[in-house]
Amino acid sequence: MSIKVKRSRAQPISRLLDNSSELGQLMRISHMLEQAQRHLRLHLPEEMREHVFVGGYRQGRLTVITNRAIWLTWLRFEQTRLLELLHQLHGFESVIGLSFKVRPVRPPKLPVRYTRELPDEAGELLSRCAEDVDDPKLKDALQRLAGHAKRAVPEQ
């Protein structure tokens, strides 16, 4: 059995990013959405800027996403003003409406880490108890518990 090497059919980057290609159209749309996001955030009140995102554009409607219902209510009241702002941008003259969605952003919760700490006196007491115990399993368990005691760092 022989292995034949196929010639790669790599395309030049200029052809990939050409406006007629799928990748070029996707890049153009993402650039336009980013431009709309920046323009809207520039004209929003300071407390809202970090809570409003442009989500997409489909059939003449721009999707605006927020993470709280209170901002959604405000956006609905300001819909006509926001449309006027968007019509100022090149490429967004054909936007006929806005769709609003609430998508709460929840940061991932890290589990609380509990550390075992014992005072030095308790550790010493457990060590002394372990010395007097004959059962090897119990002695080992007491020594492990004593190992959780806070050890004072000797001063130099």
97 with 140, same domain: the answer is no
95 with 20, same domain: the answer is yes
Which residues 6+ apart lie within 8 Å of 96 measured at CB? 60, 61
pTM of the predicted model over 0.85: no
Q: How far apart are CA 139 and CA 148, in angstroms?
A: 15
Q: Token match 């153009």: residue? A: 28
Structure tokens at 38: 């920046």
Task: Tell me, yes or no, whether 67 lies in a domain.
Answer: yes
Here the CATH number for the domain that contains residue 98 is 3.30.300.180
Can you give the residue range of the structural domain that contains 55?
16-102
22 with 97, same domain: the answer is yes
* Nearest alpha-carbon partner for 55 in 46, 47, 64: 64
Residue 11's identity, in one-letter code, is Q
- Quick: pLDDT tens for 48-105: 888 899 988 888 899 999 998 999 999 999 999 999 988 988 888 888 999 999 988 7
Q: How many domains does the chain have?
A: 2
- Look up residue 67 and give its DSSP letter: S
Cα–Cα separations (whole angstroms), residue 35 to 76, 102, 120: 21, 21, 61
pLDDT > 90 in the chain, percent: 28
Task: Tell me, yes or no, whether 10 lies in a domain.
Answer: no
21 with 95, same domain: the answer is yes
96 with 140, same domain: the answer is no
Examine the pLDDT at 153 and tell me if it is beyond 60. no
Q: How far apart are CA 25 and CA 147, in angstroms?
A: 63
Mean pLDDT of 30-53: 90
Mean pLDDT of 107-134: 84
Q: Return the ∠ at Cα 57 (arms to 53 and 60), rounded to 5°.
A: 130
